[in-house]
Amino acid sequence: MSLWDSLARPRVMGVLNVTPDSFSDGGRWTTPETAIDHGTALVDVGADLVDVGGESTRPGATRPVEGEELARVIPVISALAGSGVAVSVDTMRSSVARAAVGAGAVVVNDVSGGLADPAMLDTVAELGVGYVAMHWRAHSDEMQQHAVYDGPGGVVSVVIDELAARRDAALAAGILGDRLVLDPGLGFAKTADHNWELVAHLDRFEELGQPILVGASRKAFLGRLLADEAGPRAVDLREHAHVALLTLLAERRVWGLRVHDVRACWDALKVAARFAEARRTGSGRPDLKEGR
Ligand code: PMM
């Protein structure tokens, strides 16, 4: 399957953070060997794409220098791509994007949508690969100060407008329209309420006319929803809630879901697909039965 073929289900993007400090899986796959094994394991349970990142974007994180980011991701991308895995590189740096594509990555996943590095859009256009442009306002050390959406229509309209500007800039730079994916950027300069508004109105993002990717996996808004007196639910105990959300999102025509637990995501997609099929057959509807 090509990533860009039309498909009746969302693509499953497995997360592989080769960082010491990502909130979700930081410190777990820090050697090339452990990272490559985990990437292979994600594919074994059904990932269509493995997203390799070397920079943590957790709120308050400081950025690694470029050399450090390259050293983290390039050996992992080379090995995975070399064994036939479709790899995206999660980076805001055009230099890292270029090296990653040289190592075999087929998609650049830029959480800044081209805003962090002025050379990014031209570089991706020249490389001719896919591009994910996420909604973003500032680097992680200050992004939560930017979680203000006062425009008419609230957070959903403002995020759509700001993503439309990134879409237009990407297309103007020469990035191929059928390889350009947009992402509302859950958790990036957003409060928990903003994230719920965005996922609840995901269908409105269809007006952007581009494929949509969503990353809700393990994020703080789920932890806050499930909080008890001890505080937010721990990161690794948010998966059941995430699967419930994925089952709802599967009904939306999203291009892709960025997840840590690929098997759990597939379970949700299978339930949603079977449920939709059973509804279509009409056997539960008396008015559609023969003789009525
Ligand atoms: N979230 C994170 C990192 N990269 N990329 C896209 N396109 N969308 C996201 O929502 C996104 C991302 C942060 O989460 P992580 O620490 O689990 O990687």
Its sign, for the CA torsion 241, 247, 253, 257, is positive
Half-sphere exposure of 36 (CA within 13 A, CB side): 14
Q: Looking at the domain assignment, is residue 136 inside a domain?
A: yes
Q: Looking at the domain assignment, is residue 6 inside a domain?
A: no
Give per-residue pLDDT as tens, 124-142.
Answer: 999 999 999 999 999 988 8
pLDDT at 292: 47
How do 107-110 and 130-134 pair as beta strands? parallel
pLDDT at 290: 55
Asked if residues 239 and 261 have their Cβ atoms less than 8 Å apart, the reply is yes
Q: Looking at the domain assignment, is residue 1 inside a domain?
A: no
Q: Looking at the domain assignment, is residue 121 inside a domain?
A: yes
**What Å distances lie between residue 44 and 12, 85, 159, 203, CA to CA?**
12, 10, 35, 31
Q: Which helix (H) or strand (E) holds 140?
A: none
Q: What HEC string does 3-25 produce?
A: CCCCCCCCEEEEEEECCCCCCCC
Q: Which helix (H) or strand (E) holds 50?
A: strand 49-53
Band (144; pLDDT cuts 50, 70, 90): confident
Give per-residue pLDDT as tens, 77-121.
Answer: 999 999 999 999 999 999 999 999 999 999 999 999 999 999 999
Our answer to whether residue 219 is catalytic in this structure is yes
Q: Looking at the domain assignment, is residue 291 inside a domain?
A: no
pLDDT at 286: 66
pLDDT at 221 over 70: yes
Comparing 285 with 48, which gets the higher pLDDT?
A: 48
For ligand 1, atom 9, name the residue with the nearest CA. 215
Coil vs helix vs strand at 215: coil
Number of domains in the chain: 1
Please provide residue 52's backbone torsions phi and psi, each rounded to the nearest 5 degrees.
-100, 120
pLDDT at 6 over 90: no
Comparing 168 with 61, which gets the higher pLDDT?
A: 168
Q: Looking at the domain assignment, is residue 3 inside a domain?
A: no
Shortest-distance atom of ligand 1 to CA 260: 17
Q: For the chain, how far is it from start to end, CA to CA, in angstroms? A: 43
Band (8; pLDDT cuts 50, 70, 90): confident
Give per-residue pLDDT as tens, 55-71.
Answer: 998 877 788 999 999 99
Shortest-distance atom of ligand 1 to CA 134: 7
Coil vs helix vs strand at 45: coil
CA 183 to centroid of ligand 1, rounded, Å: 10
Q: Looking at the domain assignment, is residue 5 inside a domain?
A: no
Q: Looking at the domain assignment, is residue 112 inside a domain?
A: yes
pLDDT at 172: 98
Neighbour count for residue 207 (Cβ, 10 Å): 9
CATH code of the domain in which 233 resides: 3.20.20.20
Our answer to whether residue 289 is catalytic in this structure is no
Give per-residue pLDDT as tens, 237-291.
Answer: 999 999 999 999 988 889 999 999 999 999 999 999 999 999 988 777 666 555 5
* Domain ranges, residue 90: 11-278
For ligand 1, atom 5, name the residue with the nearest CA. 111
